Amino acid sequence: MTAPRSDRRAVREQMRARRSALPAAQRLAAADAVARHVRSLDAVRDARYLAGYWATGGEVPLHALLVPAPGFVYCLPCLTSGNALLFAPWRAGDALVQNRYGIPEPDLAPSSCLPPDAMDVVLVPLLAFTTDGVRLGAGGGYYDRSFAFLQAAQRAAKPLLVGVGYAFQQHDGLQAEPWDVGLDYIATERALIRCR
């Protein structure tokens, strides 16, 4: 069964509401489990640059990945004028500014940020997913635009895209749009799912 396109909006709203309503204890437990799953990936053990996100609106927090100090450079997404993403190295205590959605991002000039293809692993926030790697995001198309180069016939060797969310965000009816960039893995509090 496939959901019509108009359902994307309804699914976003429903998932947003459900995620915001989660008790803090459940979010923190999910954060620990997700960190364990993410750390178990060889690509994460070998990563030099790993992109996360600043969790908002009930997203799975990623702080547990930073303690103890990881072997990779942790980066956060920054919106560009072209509606794509650059990635800025960030450590606890570094300055942040709010982007147009009120999400904190590092206070760095674009010239100090790294392009998407410099990342080895990207932890991708999502609102809904299918186990074969279709992702419904916040609706701006930022991740799809930034990682469109992975759509080429011969998929680039990196970065590895790992969607992060709660198990309840699985929505099997989700239909891939032509521009959707597929996820390699999905980490939830319950499982590490290999998508392909």
Ligand X SMILES: Nc1nc2c(c(=O)[nH]1)N(C=O)[C@@H](CNc1ccc(C(=O)N[C@@H](CCC(=O)O)C(=O)O)cc1)CN2
Ligand Y SMILES: Nc1ncnc2c1ncn2[C@@H]1O[C@H](COP(=O)(O)OP(=O)(O)OP(=O)(O)O)[C@@H](O)[C@H]1O
φ and ψ of 128, to 5 deg: -150, 155
What secondary structure, in 3-state letters, does 117-168 show? HHCCEEEEECCEECCCCCEECCCCCHHHHHCHHHHCCCCCCCCEEEEECCHH
Is residue 90 within 8 A of residue 131, CB to CB? The reply is no
Residue 55: which of ligand X, ligand Y, none does it interact with, CB under 5 to 8 A by kind?
ligand X
Single out the segment in contact with ligand X by CB under 6 A; choices: 25-33, 34-42, 61-69, 131-139: 131-139
Q: Considering only residues 38-77, where is the footprint of ligand X by CB under 6 A?
A: 53-56, 59, 77
The answer to whether residue 87 forms part of the interface with ligand Y (CB under 6 A) is: no
The answer to whether residue 144 forms part of the interface with ligand X (CB under 6 A) is: no
CA–CA dist 38, 16 (Å, integer)? 23
Site string for ligand Y, 106-145 (x = CB under 6 A): ------------------------------xxxxxxxxxx
Q: Binding residue for ligand X (CB under 6 A) from 49, 142, 147, 166?
A: 142
Tell me how far CA of residue 72 lies from CA of 3, 51, 124, in angstroms. 39, 10, 17
Distance of closest approach, residue 52 Cβ to ligand X, in angstroms = 9
CA–CA dist 145, 34 (Å, integer)? 26
Q: Per the structure block, which two tokens stand in for 177? A: 């749009």
The answer to whether residue 179 forms part of the interface with ligand X (CB under 6 A) is: no
The answer to whether residue 139 forms part of the interface with ligand X (CB under 6 A) is: yes
Residue 145: which of ligand X, ligand Y, none does it interact with, CB under 5 to 8 A by kind?
ligand Y
Q: Which residues are annotated as a binding site for ATP?
A: 8-12, 135-143
Q: Which residues are annotated as a binding site?
A: 8-12, 59, 135-143
Q: Which residues bind ligand X (CB under 6 A)?
A: 9, 12, 53-56, 59, 77, 101, 103, 125, 137-140, 142-143
Q: Which residues bind ligand Y (CB under 6 A)?
A: 136-145, 148, 177, 179-180
